Amino acid sequence: MNSNSKTRFFNSSGLVVLLLLAAVNVTAADSVPTNSQKTAHEHDHGTWIERRTVATIDSDGVQRVKVIGGEYFYNPNHIVVKVNKPVELIVKKYEGYIPHNLVAKAPEAGIEFNVDLKDAVQAIKFTPTRTGKFPIYCDKGLLWFKTHREKGMEGLIEVVE
């Protein structure tokens, strides 16, 4: 098995797991409407809970913030950093098989990345160049279901003086 076919194998087995999860969800929704409704509301935008953190500057001048992402949250999800000082988001995936990422599309502020979250920690490095509030989110989703962002995987980077 060369590395390409290995990658394909893992990709397709991941898809099977997701489809199984989707099937389980649909079954649960049919048979236990009360419980599944409750679950849907827990992850709804209406119950999005702010988890704010203010970055501290390490002795090497870098603002490091640990971020965990999973179904369907980031912790923290409101990250306050100082402008024109390097930032490292130390990201990690919470347990589970569903793939997640962390996306920002604010190149005008020096904040642009798209990183798949993994069990191992990774550092997302950037230096914000202007103040303001810039969204971060997971752009994953399955078929016709709500996107992860709609389910609560979103937040913001707030850049201050």
Q: Which residue ranges make up the site for Cu ion (CB under 5 A)?
A: 100, 138, 140, 148, 153
Least separation in angstroms between residue 67's CB and Cu ion is 13
Least separation in angstroms between residue 93's CB and Cu ion is 9
Nearer Cβ to Cu ion (83/142): 142
57/78 Cα distance (integer angstroms):
17
Strands 132-137 and 122-126: unpaired
Nearer Cβ to Cu ion (109/117): 117
Query: What is the DSSP code string of 66-123?
Result: EEEEETTEEES-EEEEETTS-EEEEEEEPSSSS--EEEEEEGGGTEEEEEE--SS-EE
Cα angle 21-104-133, degrees, rounded to a multiple of 5: 120
Least separation in angstroms between residue 74's CB and Cu ion is 9
Least separation in angstroms between residue 68's CB and Cu ion is 12
Nearer Cβ to Cu ion (43/148): 148
Nearer Cβ to Cu ion (99/110): 99
